[in-house]
Amino acid sequence: MQDASFLERIKGWLFHAFPHHLVSRITFRLTRLDTPLKYPVIWLVIRAFKVDMSEAAEPDPRRYATFNAFFTRALKLGARPLADGAEAIASPADGAVSQLGEIDSGRIFQAKGQSFSVLELLGGSAVRAAPFLSGKFCTIYLSPRDYHRVHMPLDGRLREMLHVPGRLFSVSQYATRVIPRLFARNERMAAIFDTAFGPMAVVMVGAVNVSAIETVWAGLVTPPAGKGVRSVDYTQDSAAAVRLKRGEEMGRFNMGSTAILLFGDARVAWDASLRVDMAVKMGAEIGRAALISRRGGHAVSQGNAIA
């Protein structure tokens, strides 16, 4: 990862004074207006970012009621084949790998000279963060051209959802180099699941103009931004249990942002071909996991060996 340039540092400094939430709330309103002005904006985005509309369930840009409907468009059936095998970890989103690797003493690598803690990413609870302190992470950046729905990497049962208010800094590559603890400072939604391979968290991080984060079980999580961490426990009421299969939609962004995937320990191995800035597609295999059973008090790996 290259060092930040002087110009990037100036941009980062200016971004601290930028009215993130005000601009994003205006964007929220404008992108949901059913007005003829949406058509030139949609066409501009398609051309500027080379959006492939042939993959969309509705390929005709004129058929979308609002700009947001276009931006959160569904894909055609079969447009994203799902990786084979229950132990295959499916990419939760289209995008580019920002970083991936091991969580080192509870800290996640952001960029050269920059990192942040699992504790602050997950809202400041030591109990919540504890299972992930020596785990694995993968950060995926979604650009404006990408499909903006987030899907399940593995089968899982939702344990907890939390909304953490914060800033809405840009999450572009330059921002990761110049804004300390960027992903732990931006507004975010974290969903923590129990899986056959241990705990898994999918963190959807907001950014400027990312004026909505939604989940399939709770609808719109933000806005409103709120002033404190809000947590919902989904384990207390069996009638409210949320179980999702690998590849099922779990949420969506408006505009581009970042999804961070966390696993609890070394039972997960990322695919050896993954590299920083490498493009990935939702559903593609990005790693593998192994089941752990306990016999006579000892942990025993099942299936493929995991490095």
* CB-CB neighbours of 240 under 10 Å: 12
Kindly state the DSSP code that residue 84 receives in the 8-state scheme. S
> What is the predicted pLDDT for the residue at 206?
85
pLDDT tier, 1 (very low <50, low <70, confident <90, very high otherwise): very low
**Domain extent for 106:** 6-288
Query: Which are the catalytic amino acids?
Result: 94, 151, 257
User: Is residue 299 assigned to a domain?
Assistant: no
State the average pLDDT for the chain.
Answer: 85
- Residue given tokens 């994003």 in the structure block: 24
User: Is residue 294 assigned to a domain?
Assistant: no
Distinct helix (H) and strand (E) counts, the chain: 8, 20
User: Is residue 32 assigned to a domain?
Assistant: yes
Q: Is the dihedral of CA 289, 241, 117, 143 positive or negative?
A: positive
Name which of 155, 140, 106, 112 is nearest 4 in CA terms: 112
Q: How many domains does the chain have?
A: 1
Mean pLDDT (whole number) for 226-247? 87
Kindly state the DSSP code that residue 75 receives in the 8-state scheme. B
Which of residues 238 and 152 earns the better pLDDT score? 152
Three-state SS for 204? Answer: strand
CA 151 to chain centre: 9
C-alpha dist (Å) from residue 258 to 93, 224, 261: 9, 19, 10
User: Is residue 82 assigned to a domain?
Assistant: yes
**Least-confidence region, from 44-48, 197-201, 290-294:** 290-294
Structure tokens at 166: 């914060």
Beta strand 149-151 with 219-222 is unpaired
Span 52-76, pLDDT tens digits: 999 999 999 999 999 999 999 999 9
Residue 81 pLDDT > 90: yes
pTM value is 0.86
Residue 220 one-letter amino acid: L
User: Is residue 306 assigned to a domain?
Assistant: no
User: Is residue 204 assigned to a domain?
Assistant: yes
User: Is residue 157 assigned to a domain?
Assistant: yes
User: Is residue 127 assigned to a domain?
Assistant: yes
- Residue given tokens 């709120």 in the structure block: 226
Span 249-294, pLDDT tens digits: 999 987 668 999 999 976 899 999 999 999 999 999 999 998 755 4
Name which of 212, 265, 2 is nearest 111 in CA terms: 2
